[in-house]
Structure 1
Amino acid sequence: MKTDFMRFFAALIFVLTTTLAQAQVREMDTVQLVNPKTVIPDHPRLLLLKGEEKLLQKSINSKRIWKQVHSSILHQCDSLIATKPVERVLLGVRLLAKSRECLYRVFYLSYAWRMTHEEKYLKRAEQELLAVSNFSDWNPSHYLDVAEMTMAAAIGYDWLYDDLSEKSRTIIREAILKKGVGTSYDSAYPNYRKWLSVTNNWNQVCNAGISFGALATWESDPELARRVINRSVASIDIAMKDYDPDGAFAEGYTYWGYGTTFNIMFLSAIEKVFKTDFGLGKSAGFLKTACYLENMIGPTGKNFNYSDASESGILQPAMLWFGNKLKDPSLLWNERLQLTDLRIKLNADRLLPAILIWGKDVDPEKVEAPKKLLWTGAGRNPVALMRSSWTDPNAIFVGIKGGSPKVTHGHMDVGSFVLEADGIRWGKDFGAQDYTPLELRNIDLWADRQDGQRWEIFRYNNFAHNTLTVNNQLQQVTGKGVITSTTSDPAFLSAVADISTVYKGQVAKAERGAAIVDKKYVLIKDEIETSDAEVMVRWKMLTSALVKVSGNQAELIQWGKRLRIIVPEPANIVMQTWSTEPPKDYDEPNPGTTLVGFEVKIPAHSKSTFNVFLVPGGTLPDTLTTPKPLKDWH
C-alpha cells in the first residue's frame, strides 16, 4: 500500500512538473531580444568572421603549442580524405556517435579549408555534408543526435558557403532547416522540446546545436532564426543558473566538458554575431565554474570522477574561453600540462579548432600555477577539493562531495572521496558504466526513485563508493549532503560534510570530515549518532592497490609506492577487504580493484567516531595528530 501511494505521488509530481515545464517553454517562445531590424554579418559568421583567419594564423606562427595543435588538425584532415562519409547507423537508441563523428570531420575539414584553401579539404567536407543531409532524419527521438548533427551541418554550411555549389548549398540548407531547426518546433514531436526547461547538459547542447543551425541559415527565414535565438537565450539561462552559487557542476567532470563546452559554443557564436550575450555573461556561478573544473584535476591528471564520469582528465577547450574572458591564465594550468606534456591525442576532441579561436591570445607555455590550495562549491552537488601543492607531482590531493543521488547522472556517492599521493590514485571511484549495453538489456537506467532499477547497478549504489553503508542499506535518494565548513590553513586543509539526510531512518546524524594534515597525510573523520536501534556501519575505500591487512591497519602497495591506513579509533576494529566482483550479469567487470575498510556495530542512542589516517610512504610520521571534533574544524 505504501509503495503504491509513493508511486502515485511520484506520478502526480511528474505531471505537475511537466505541466509547469510546458508553460515555461511556451513563455520562452514569446521572448523578444533580437531586434527584427538586426543586420548580421555575412558568411562565415559562426565563431570566426571572414578575414579573422589572418589573426589566427599570426597566433599559430608565434606560439609553439598552437602551431602543434594546428598541424595536428591538418594531419587528421589528411587522414580523412580517403574515408567514406558517415552512414546512418544507430547504436541502441542513439545516432549520437555518427553525429559526433560528423561534427569532428566537418569542423576539422572546414577549419583546414579556411586556413589553407587546399581544395581537398573543401571537397571532402562537402561530401560529408551531403551524405548526412540525405539521411532520412537525424534521429529526433534522441534529440542530442539532432543537436550535434545540426551544429556540424551549420559550421560546414557557414564556413564553406562561398565555395559550395548552389546545389549543395540548397541541399544542406534544407536539411538544417527541416531535420534540425524545424524539428524543435514540430508539434508532432512534443517530447523533443523537453530539453528547453531542464538544467542539465541536454539544455546546453540542444540549444547550441539548434542555434548554430538558425544562425547559419538566417537569410532563408530570419523570423524563424530570431525566434530560435530568443528562445535559446531564455532557455540556456536556466542551465547557466544551475552553476550558482560557486560554479560546482551537478553532473560532474565529464558532463561539465559536454554541457559547458556547448554552452560556450553558444555564447561565443551569439557574441560574434550580435556583439552581445544578452546578459548571460552576468551569471556569476557560471563564470566561477572554471575554478571548479581546474581544481577537479589531481596531480596524476585524473579527475574526481563522481557521478557518471570517466577518470582521465582531458583537454577542455572551454577553459581557453574562460581564461580569456576572465583574464586569468592560471585557469589554464591543467590545459598547459595536457598540451606541453602531450598527455592527450590532439584529435580526441571534435571541437578542437575552437581552442585556437578562444586561446589565440594566450601562450600555454607561459601559464603560472594557481595559488589557492582549497576550493569548495555549494549547489546541488557540493564538493570540496584540496591539495598540498600545485607544482609537486607527488602532492596529496583529496576531493570529497555532498550532494544527492537525485541529481542528473547522480550516484549514491554522498560523502565519497578520492585520494592521491606520491603520483598514485589510492582512493578511487569507478565512475560511469556504459549506457548502451544496459539499455539494450532493458535496464531502467534513469529510474532514480528509491526503488528504481538504477540503484541495482553496482557502480551506482553506495556499496561501491568510498562512503558509509548502514545495515547494508542504500542511501536515501531524496537526501542531500552539504559542505558545512572548510579550513584553508596549509597545515590543516579541511572540509566537513553533513550527510545525515541520506541515512534518514538509519542513523540520527552522520558527518564526515576530510583533511590534509601538515601536507603529510590525510584524515577522514566520521561522527555518527544512532537513534532507537543498534546499527552496523561499514567504512570502505575502493583501490587498485595490492592490499595487506593486519589488525587495525592496512598497507596498500602500487607501482612500488606504499600507503598505510591506520584506524586507532574506534578501538579493536579489524581491517578487511571485499570483492568488487559484479553482482549482476549486466554490471561491468572491475578487474584489479579491491574495497578495503572495516565494519563496526554502534549501539542505540549512542555516538561513535571513526578516525581513519591515510599515510603515504613506507614509514609513519613522528606523530599522528589527535583529531579535534568536527565542530572545531572551522
Structure 2
Amino acid sequence: MDLPPLLLEREPGRNVILPTARRLYDRVAVLGMASILTGNNRYRRRGVSELENATAFDSWNPSHFLDVAEMACGFALGLEWFGPATSHTERVFLEDSLAERALRPGLDQLRAAAHWTTAAHNWNVVCCSGLIVAALAVGARHAELAGEVIARATAALAHGLSSFEFDGGYAEGPGYWEHSARYAVVALAALSERGFIVPDPAGLAASWLFNRETTAPSGACFDFGDTVPHPGRSPILGWLANHSGEPEAALWQRTSPGNLHPFDLLWLSEEQESSLFVQKPVTAFKGAGICILRKFIGTSDAYIGFKGGRNDINHAHLDLGSFVFEVGKIRFISELGRDDYALPGYFDLDARFSYFRLGTAGHSTITFNGRSQSLAAHARCLGTSDQVDFVAAAFEIEDESSPVRHRRGIAIDGEYVWILDEIARKHDTLEPIRINWRAFTQAEIFWRQKAAMLTIGGQTLAAEIVDSGDVAWIVDPVASPPGEGDNSGFTCLRFETEMTGSAQRLCVAVSAPTTQGSIGDRMPPPGIDLWPLTLPRNAG
C-alpha cells in the first residue's frame, strides 16, 4: 500500500516489458486477496489506481505480444476483483482500454495466424490464456469482439495444452512449465466459471508431478535448458491437486518450497497425511525426455536429474546426456544455466548455440572431436530400473552428425553412483576420435591421476575414473567468453581420451569418501544391455 504505482520497466538490453506485467499481476493478486479477506474497500481502490496507471503507459508492447498477454491477464483479474469499487465511468474507461490495448491487436494476430497461435510451447499458452481472461472481463460491453477472441483463442490454446504430456512432463523445463501452467489454469478456471465447455487438460492436471520431481532436495530445480535454478514456487498447485484428485498432489501444494501466493488460498487443497508423500526411486518423463533418480547413499539422499529428450525443443540447449547431482541437499554437479536473453541472436538458431553455455561443451556430457551435438539430435530412453540396490536410467543419443553411436547410463548401485558411457564407431575408418568427458561443479577439487575429491558445504565426494584406459583427471577453470555469462564460480572436472578402435567404454564412479575400500576395488557395472532395465509405461 505504501509503494508508488508501477513504473514501466523493461528487461535490461531488450525491448520487453515482462517485468512490469508480472509486477502488475502480483499486485492485483495481493490487493485482490486482501480485499476478499478483510472486506476493506481501500485495497480495491488501490488496485483500481494500479489499473489506471497501467493505461497511462505509452504501449503494452504489441511487437512482443507476450507482454500484451501478461499485462492483459493481470489487468483483467483486477477488473473482476476491484469492480465493486469502480464507478460506471471508471469501469467503462478500463474496459475500453483493455479492449484497445489487448483484444483488438490480439484478434488481429489470431486472424493472421501469428507464429504463437499454432506453437506447442509457452508463447501459445500464455498469449491465448491472457486474451481469454481479458475477453471474459469485458464481454458484457464488447460482446462481439470478446466472443470472437474467446472462440479463436480457445481453439488455438489446444496446441499449447498439447505440450503438457499425459505423464505430466513439460519439455521446456521447470521454469517454463511454471509460466505456462499458471496462465493455462487461470484461463481454464475462468472459462469454467462462466459456463464454457473447456478441454479436459489431463496432462496439465498431472504436471504437478513434473514440478515435484524436478525440484531437488536442496530446493533448486533440475535447471536444464533456459530454466533458472530457482524459477519460483507455482501458485496453482492447489488447482492441479483438486483437478487431478491425487492426494500426493494435495500434499505437494503444502510442502513445495518457495513463497506462498494468494492463489494458494483460492485453490487450497485438502490437508493430507505426510505418509502419503512417496517418491519413487526413478521417474521418467517421456515427452520432457528426462529421468529423475533418487536413493540414499549412506545416510544422505542422492538426487540425479538426467537429460535426454530433443535438442530442437523451444528453449533447449545442446545438452543430451547431461546431468545434475546432489547429495545431502548440496549440488555437486551443476548446470551453468541459461545466458542473457539480450545477447545478440540468442533466439536465432544461426547464432544461439555459438554461446558457450548453450553448446554441448557447456554441459556435463561428452563431446566428440570438439563438436557440439546437432539440433536434430535426440536421446531415446533405453529404460529404467528401480530395484532396491540398483536404481538406474539409460539413454541412447542419436545424432546423424556424430561419428559415433553413444549410450550413457547412470546407476546408483549401493553406495556408488556410476556414469557409464558406451561408444561405438559408426564407420569403418579408424581415424582417431577425440573424446572429452566433462562435468561442472562449484566444489573445491583435490585430485591426483584418476582420483578426485570434491568438497562443498562441508561435504565431500570421491570421483574416480574406472575401467577407462590410460587417462587422468584434468581440472580447469570454466571460461567466460567476452560478453557472455560469468562462469567464474564453476570448475570443470574432465578427462580426455582418443578412440582408435571400433568401440570404447568409459566409466566414472562417485561415492562418499567414507565408503570402505577404494572405488577401484569395486566391480563396475556390466554393459548397459545387461542392466535390469524396463521401459517406463509412458515410453510407448
**Same fold per TM (> 0.5)?**
yes
The residue identity in structure 2 corresponding to 1:373 is P
Partners of 1:507 and 1:528 within 8 A in 2: no
Partners of 1:388 and 1:490 within 8 A in 2: no
The aligned counterpart of 1:198 is 119
Of 445, 454, 467, the residue aligned with 2:346 is 445
1:316 aligns with 2:234: yes
Distance 1:367 1:233 in 2: 40
1:613 aligns with 2:530: no
| Structure 1 SS opposite 2:276 | coil
Q: TM-score, normalised by structure 1?
A: 0.79
Distance 2:511 2:243 in 1: 40
Q: Give identity over the alignment, percent.
A: 25
- After the TM superposition, which of the residue ranges 381-390 and 125-134 deviates more from structure 2? 381-390
The aligned counterpart of 1:120 is 42
| 1:202 CA displacement | 0.8
1:326 aligns with 2:326: no
Distance 2:246 2:303 in 1: 23
Shift of the 560–336 alpha-carbon distance from structure 1 to 2, 3 Å rule, reads same
Of 575, 579, 582, the residue aligned with 2:480 is 582
1:372 aligns with 2:280: yes
1:470 aligns with 2:368: yes
Shift of the 167–262 alpha-carbon distance from structure 1 to 2, 3 Å rule, reads same
| 1:395 CA displacement | 0.4
In structure 1, list runs of 5 or more residues that go unmatched.
Answer: 1-80, 347-351
The residue identity in structure 2 corresponding to 1:127 is S
Partners of 1:133 and 1:171 within 8 A in 2: no
Distance 1:336 1:96 in 2: 28
Distance 2:423 2:320 in 1: 15
1:399 aligns with 2:321: no
Distance 2:251 2:419 in 1: 28
| 1:620 CA displacement | 4.4
Question: Deviations for 1:197-228, whole angstroms, at most 9, x for unmatched residues?
Answer: 11111111111111111111111122332322
Distance 1:371 1:421 in 2: 16
Distance 2:110 2:413 in 1: 60
Distance 2:489 2:57 in 1: 44
| Structure 2 SS opposite 1:488 | strand
| Structure 2 SS opposite 1:399 | strand
1:355 aligns with 2:264: yes
Partners of 2:9 and 2:17 within 8 A in 1: yes
| Structure 2 SS opposite 1:160 | helix
| 1:89 CA displacement | 4.1
The residue identity in structure 1 corresponding to 2:509 is F
The residue identity in structure 2 corresponding to 1:386 is L
The aligned counterpart of 1:408 is 314
Shift of the 245–484 alpha-carbon distance from structure 1 to 2, 3 Å rule, reads farther
Question: Deviations for 1:280-313, whole angstroms, at most 9, x for unmatched residues?
Answer: 33x4x33332222211112111211100011126
| 1:187 CA displacement | 6.6
Shift of the 182–119 alpha-carbon distance from structure 1 to 2, 3 Å rule, reads same
| 1:131 CA displacement | 1.0
Question: Deviations for 1:237-268, whole angstroms, at most 9, x for unmatched residues?
Answer: 11222233532211101111101111111111
Distance 2:7 2:505 in 1: 59
Structure with greater proportional strand content:
2
Question: Deviations for 1:595-626, whole angstroms, at most 9, x for unmatched residues?
Answer: 1021110015x110111111134444686343
Of 128, 134, 152, the residue aligned with 1:213 is 134
How many pairs are equivalent?
525
Shift of the 229–140 alpha-carbon distance from structure 1 to 2, 3 Å rule, reads same
Distance 1:220 1:153 in 2: 16
The aligned counterpart of 2:536 is none
| 1:367 CA displacement | 7.1
Of 190, 212, 223, the residue aligned with 1:305 is 223
Distance 2:388 2:162 in 1: 32
The aligned counterpart of 1:538 is 436
| 1:276 CA displacement | 3.9
- After the TM superposition, which of the residue ranges 216-225 and 170-179 deviates more from structure 2? 216-225
Taking the TM superposition and a 5 Å limit, the aligned residue runs for 1:514-533 are 514-518=410-414, 520-530=415-425, 531=427, 532=429, 533=431
The aligned counterpart of 1:387 is 294
Aligned-residue RMSD, C-alpha: 2.2
Distance 1:433 1:424 in 2: 23
Partners of 1:292 and 1:375 within 8 A in 2: no
Shift of the 157–313 alpha-carbon distance from structure 1 to 2, 3 Å rule, reads closer
Question: Deviations for 1:26-54, whole angstroms, at most 9, x for unmatched residues?
Answer: xxxxxxxxxxxxxxxxxxxxxxxxxxxxx
Question: Deviations for 1:566-601, whole angstroms, at most 9, x for unmatched residues?
Answer: 112112211111221212x11111232101021110
The aligned counterpart of 1:166 is 88
The aligned counterpart of 1:60 is none
The aligned counterpart of 1:52 is none
Question: Deviations for 1:496-549, whole angstroms, at most 9, x for unmatched residues?
Answer: 101131xx343231000011112x221110000123221010111110000112
Structure with greater proportional helix content:
1
The aligned counterpart of 1:336 is 254
Taking the TM superposition and a 5 Å limit, the aligned residue runs for 1:178-327 are 178-186=100-108, 190=112, 193-274=114-195, 276-277=197-198, 279-281=199-201, 283=202, 285-312=203-230, 314-327=232-245
Distance 1:201 1:303 in 2: 19
Partners of 1:308 and 1:432 within 8 A in 2: yes
Displaced runs of 4 or more, over 4 A = 187-191, 332-335, 364-367, 620-623
Partners of 1:467 and 1:540 within 8 A in 2: yes
Partners of 1:510 and 1:526 within 8 A in 2: yes
| 1:163 CA displacement | 2.1
| Structure 2 SS opposite 1:435 | coil
Shift of the 218–399 alpha-carbon distance from structure 1 to 2, 3 Å rule, reads same
Distance 2:473 2:183 in 1: 46
